[in-house]
Structure 1
């Protein structure tokens, strides 16, 4: 997997490795990528942002909050 990934890097392809927990990233992989990338933190939308984006009315909050919270 690492050889394949480095082949992609050499061919000028953008690679995005995602994960929610560093514990799942093996030491071998973590060591190979030290200094070779950039960390981009992606946070979920807040419920307030969802309300604003979809222009929800106050009486609709209950209908959407359960789905948001899942």
Structure 2
């Protein structure tokens, strides 16, 4: 199957977490939560990864780097 896309939702501010750090950047087992998701998407063999960013977009992009395309 060709052209499989994964869409990662990483635009939440995380206000209910009562933290200044954006929700997807909180660390679990030493890695940001969004990194765990990207790792699994890559392991599943998707052709393209698109991450939806919003609050803290620059910080999320810095963590993920070129492992994904981005949409604001």
- TM-score exceeds 0.5: no
TM-score (norm 1): 0.33
Q: Which structure would you say has the larger Rg?
A: 1
TM-score (norm 2): 0.32
